[in-house]
Amino acid sequence: MNKFPISPIFIPGNKLEWIAKTFEKGADSIILDLEDSVPESEKLEARENLSNHLNDNHYENLIVRVNPVNEKTGQEDIESLAKYHKSISAFMLPKIETSSLIANLPSINVIALLETPISIKNISDIAAEEKVVGLALGGADLSASLGSTMDWDALLYSRSKIVQEAAINNLFTIDSPFMEISELLALEEESTRSKNLGFNGKAAIHPSQIEIIKNSFLPSQDELDEAKEIIKAFNESSSAVIAFKGRMIDLPIVLSMEKRLRLVGIDPKNID
């Protein structure tokens, strides 16, 4: 993908005319949903329409959530759409519970949507699969399986596991959507918590959420300038630890600064 998807927004897979309009509204990534938002009777038509649409249209940062790949419909989704890898940045696999299901797929980029207790239990194996480029939390389904609420504390363990395994395997992370569309202040608070925990972004379900999520996750210009200065100073030194404006800087901090730059699509290996 071109950069981490910070505020990817879900849109129904049978509303292809919404793709361009949603990008115009400021979405940095779209998750086109062929699973929950498409009625069973329309799934085949939605897939065929998407395939025809991608013959004539090219996108960047388009994610497609297919149907579960342990079912025939999901397998056929992948078989039909894998050839459009230039327009589909990644395939989001719902309810993925074992790495073997991913290993048997064609050579595609995969975002594993973790939304069952078994998914969380097997997260180490799933995250280590070479096709996986990102991990996403499916809070609604997970909380239903757990019998919990979707509150922050109730899903904190799962969020922490996702961030930890993503860090180990150099993957990006997408936090679960915030379902209360009208509660924008609460969305901002949860987005800030997600960022502080280590998530790279948070999924949106309504255009009104996009800017709030972006502003919560994206570094400010001062933070970007600081990251560039720290990386330059560290690279110019032969020491493993340097002093920078009264701070001690070592490799873990430099790696954190590099991650900050990647959030906005800046290559930390090629900065001014």
Rounded to whole angstroms, the Cα distance separating 175 from 66 reads: 18
Per the structure block, which two tokens stand in for 25? 């509204």
> 70: buried, middle or exposed (CB in 10 Å: 19+, 13-18, 0-12)?
middle
Q: How many residues can be counted in the chain?
A: 272
The DSSP secondary-structure symbol of 178 reads: P
* Contact between residue 13 and residue 33 where contact means Cβ atoms under 8 Å apart: yes
Per-block mean pLDDT, blocks of 10 residues, the chain (272 long): 81 95 91 96 96 93 96 96 93 96 94 97 97 97 96 96 95 96 96 94 96 92 93 91 91 89 85 76
Res 259: pLDDT: 82
3-state secondary structure (DSSP) of residue 238: coil
Query: How big, in percent rounded to 5, are the helix, strand and coil portions of the chain?
Result: 50, 15, 35
With b for 16 or more beta-carbon neighbours within 10 A and e for fewer, the 114-133 pattern comes to bbbeebbebbeebbebebbb
Instruction: Delineate the domains of the chain, giving CATH numbers in brackets.
Output: 9-217 (3.20.20.60), 221-262 (no CATH)
Convert the pLDDT of each residue in 236-261 to its tens digit. Answer: 988 999 999 989 999 999 988 998 89
Q: Amino acid identity of 104?
A: N
pLDDT attached to residue 3: 65
Q: How far apart are CA 78 and CA 22, in angstroms?
A: 24
pLDDT of res. 1: 54
For residue 262, what pLDDT is reported?
A: 82
Sign of CA dihedral 40, 76, 56, 28: positive
Q: What is the pLDDT of residues 3-21, one digit of tens each?
A: 678 999 999 999 999 999 9
DSSP 177: P
